[in-house]
Amino acid sequence: MLYSALRRALFLLPPEGSHLAALTGLAGAHRLGLLGSFFPPPPEWPVEAMGLRFPNPVGLAAGLDKDARYVEPLAALGFGWLEVGTVTSHPQPGHDCPRLHRLPEVEGLINRMGCNSEGVERVCQRLAARPPAVLLGINIGLNQDAAPERLIDDHLALYRRVHTAASYVTVNISSPNTAVLSELRSGTVSMEPLLEQLCGERERLFTKTGKRVPLVVKLSPDLDVGQLRESAQLLKACGIDGVIISNTTATRPAELRHLSVANRAGGLSGRPLTALALRATEVLAAELGSDIALIASGGICDAQAAADRLRAGARLVQLYTGLIYQGPGLVAEVAAAARACTPG
């Protein structure tokens, strides 16, 4: 009831304005020590994956806290870990507004943010000043104006820069809003050279520093079954540690066609993505087995969707759009569902 009333007020604001207002309010409530009273965190239910111990299997997906400004208050909601970003090499404003649209009738969002980012230096400085007391994934990606020939070098430089702060690093090759990634996203250009170089750098830094930072790849739900299977085999061959399935979709389900906003450009997330992301999870789980940790994201708007993903083979789940529509209580609900469907 509390969040329902708060959501009605927030939804009176434009989407980006309500996003900032919600995070600012969350930070204020955290400073006053109020979050635990309203949104008790779930009990620990540890999950081992990628050589890391996650206190519980429910994480925050990248995109909500792009610049790692709200790590402490978000962690206080009971997430087992957080993923920040997408972080780019250089600061960039992203696309012009409006670039974020609500579809409240179906609990969805369409975004064409364009990876707005303060840049990797600012993010790393912020994390160094206040090291997070939570497992932290850092999602890295290319600047909009990056030349195709910079694909590998820019990703390597980003991985090196975030290595100290990150518990793991996600390579965001599936963003539908970054033009230079379109050929990688569609599978017309092989990911293999990029992933081989990144895995090599992971091992070099491990030897040098003693800290092994797992590499995760975020895939598009728009890949067909054959492309998903090929991707799985490539990820295993390269030695990738984890896969997030999925990013947003560029497709529009038939049931959205009566909504004028559904035709806006950008990636669709939320409940309309649920079935597509589940299908992709099932395909990848069958191909990957236990070799690579599978992280389910996209369309997890209730406990049932999370349980379906875990039963399909995911080890961990991430929330974003569902959190906006259902509120922070969704963290504990999903954690309870995960515990109910996990052996032991």
Q: Please report, in tens digits, the pLDDT of each residue of the chain (344 residues total).
A: 678 889 999 999 999 999 999 999 999 999 999 888 888 888 888 999 999 999 999 999 999 999 999 999 999 999 999 999 999 999 999 999 899 999 999 999 999 999 999 999 999 999 999 998 899 999 999 998 888 889 999 999 999 999 999 999 999 988 765 555 555 545 556 789 999 999 999 999 999 999 999 999 999 999 999 999 999 999 999 999 999 999 999 999 888 878 888 788 899 999 999 999 999 999 999 999 988 999 999 999 999 999 999 999 999 999 999 999 999 999 999 999 988 886 55
Give pLDDT, residue 339.
86
What's the structural domain count of the chain? 1
Place of tokens 């670039």: 99
With respect to residue 188, please indicate whether it lies within any of the assigned structural domains: yes
With respect to residue 29, please indicate whether it lies within any of the assigned structural domains: no
> Does residue 98 have a cis peptide bond before it, meaning omega lies within 30 degrees of 0?
yes
Task: In whole angstroms, give the CA distance from residue 249 to residue 268.
Answer: 5
With respect to residue 209, please indicate whether it lies within any of the assigned structural domains: yes
Give pLDDT, residue 189.
60
Give pLDDT, residue 22.
95
With respect to residue 25, please indicate whether it lies within any of the assigned structural domains: no
Q: Label residues 114-149 b or e (16+ Cβ within 10 Å = b).
A: bbbbbbbeebbebbeeeebebbbbbbbbbbbebeee
CB of 276 within 8 A of CB of 221? yes
Active-site entry in 175, 220, 231, 246: 175
Contacts of 3 (CB under 8 A, 6+ apart): 326, 327, 328, 329
Give pLDDT, residue 185.
47
Q: Is residue 175 annotated as a catalytic residue, yes or no?
A: yes
pTM of full prediction above 0.85: yes
Q: Could you tell me the CATH number of the domain that includes residue 187?
A: 3.20.20.70
With respect to residue 139, please indicate whether it lies within any of the assigned structural domains: yes
The domain in which residue 162 lies consists of 34-340
